[in-house]
Amino acid sequence: MSIRLVEDVSDGTYVLDRLAVTLTPALPWLGHQACWEMHGHLKEPIDLTRVTCNVVMKFGPVKILERNYSLPDLLESLGAKLPDDLRPAAGPWRQAWNLQLPESVPVAEHRILLRARTDSGQNFLALDMALDFSLRFRPSPADGAARSRVLHGSHRR
């Protein structure tokens, strides 16, 4: 069974084209690290330090968060940083980040919408993410004594 947690919803007007994202583990856990790998094709050079991101988090139809970040600030909030090449040229582009998922995220099924724009106002990327931190997942004792923040369970589709 293939689970699509991250969907590229951009169209031909976006600077980042043919985007593919891999999230490891496939079902990330609150309070733990997840590896975010992406590759695509940049249609033009980009200054990553000047990309802005609009993040919307929804629980069902209810918007529980909407915030704008610079790309460097968004990555920093997740324990990552920009790559050494801050201004990649047009052409193939690959990135990988180890992100620390916050423990403070409410336990629920979330839909996260990420829209990013360049400093000139062009659409950079558009992602929709479905992350399931619902009550179907039960915290389990790490060593029989302390409670772990790891969430266990099965994902149904």
CA–CA distance, 63 with 17 (Å, rounded to integer): 28
Residues of the chain with pLDDT under 50: 1-3, 135, 137-157
CA torsion angle 46 47 48 53 (round to 10):
-80
Check residue 145 and give its pLDDT: 38
Check residue 117 and give its pLDDT: 98
CA–CA distance, 24 with 34 (Å, rounded to integer): 6
Check residue 134 and give its pLDDT: 62
Residue type, 95: Q
- For residue 69, the tally of other CB atoms under 10 A from its CB is 17
- For residue 117, the tally of other CB atoms under 10 A from its CB is 19
Q: Taking a C-beta distance cutoff of 8 angstroms, is the pair 33, 142 a contact?
A: no
Check residue 11 and give its pLDDT: 94
Handedness of CA 65, 54, 59, 151 (dihedral sign): negative
Burial of residue 130 (CB within 10 Å: 0-12, 13-18, 19+) is middle
Residue type, 143: D
Strands annotated E in 16-143: 16-24, 33-42, 52-59, 62-70, 91-100, 109-117, 123-132, 138-141
Q: Which helix (H) or strand (E) holds 74?
A: helix 71-77
